[in-house]
Amino acid sequence: MTPASKEARDRLKAAMRRLATGERAALEEIYRATSAKLFGICLRILKDEKEAEDALQDVYINLWRRADRYDPERASPISWLATFARNRAVDRLRVGKVRKGSVGEEQAAPLADTAPLADSMMIDAEREARVHVCLEKLDENPREAIRTAFFEGRTYAEIAEDEGVPLGTMKSWVRRGLQKLKTCMERGE
């Protein structure tokens, strides 16, 4: 994660905390930082600008009322808000508050689009950065074994031979390293 993206995420988390206490200026800050991404999600599902605008308005109204439900330990702010936006758009499909041209509810999840959405790219970038941060926390042997196996596509046997260690040792390094990596990822350290 770049310093700029970490700073943006931290600002968004701080704004979410302030919003939970009822600070109106925080909602405006969150809106400026997220509305384009969330509008894109709503538009992709609803296929109508007016409907997407209405859904987006619902997102921010509900965010104002429910900001205290956001848990930074469980998700990044943009991930939580992206899920919130998707759910609001799908809810509009369910209750029939959509105009002609929108997709059906059953089609909302698997919409075909080869280009990744901005929120998906952001979530993926956050996750990738998190993996690298957690990898750096591992001891050298498991860290290098995992990098070689998963990023270079080499087998455990090949890595064990290159390192001059028994295959069982290599498998243990990778298994223990993956367990620590999973724990680190879940904790969001």
pLDDT at 111: 47
Structure tokens at 103: 């997709």
Evaluated on CA atoms 146, 151, 153, 154, the torsion sign reads negative
Tell me the per-residue pLDDT of 158-183, one tens digit each, with 9 for 90 and over. 889 999 999 999 999 999 988 998 88
CA gap 128, 79 in Å, rounded: 14
H-state helical runs in 47-166: 49-66, 77-94, 105-108, 118-136, 140-146, 156-163
| Spatial distance between the Cα atoms of 56 and 85, rounded to a whole number of angstroms | 7
Query: H or E stretch including 152?
Result: none
Mean residue pLDDT of the chain comes to: 81
CA nearest to 55, candidates 46, 67, 66, 68: 46
Structural domains in the chain plus CATH codes: 3-112 (1.10.1740.10), 137-187 (1.10.10.10)
pTM greater than 0.85 (yes/no):
no
**Two tokens at 89?**
């758009």
Residues shown for the chain: 189
The tens digit of pLDDT for each residue in 15-70 reads: 999 998 988 999 999 999 899 989 988 888 888 899 899 999 999 998 898 888 88
Torsion of CA 57, 62, 65, 71, to 10 degrees: -120
Question: What CA–CA distance (Å, rounded) separates 93 from 123?
Answer: 25
DSSP-based helix, strand, coil % in the chain, nearest 5:
75, 0, 25
DSSP, res 69? G
Tokens of 11: 């600002």
Q: How far, in Å, CA of 132 to CA of 129, rounded?
A: 5
User: What's the pLDDT tens digit per position in 122-154?
Assistant: 656 666 677 778 888 889 999 998 888 877 777
Report the percent of the chain where pLDDT is more than 70.
79
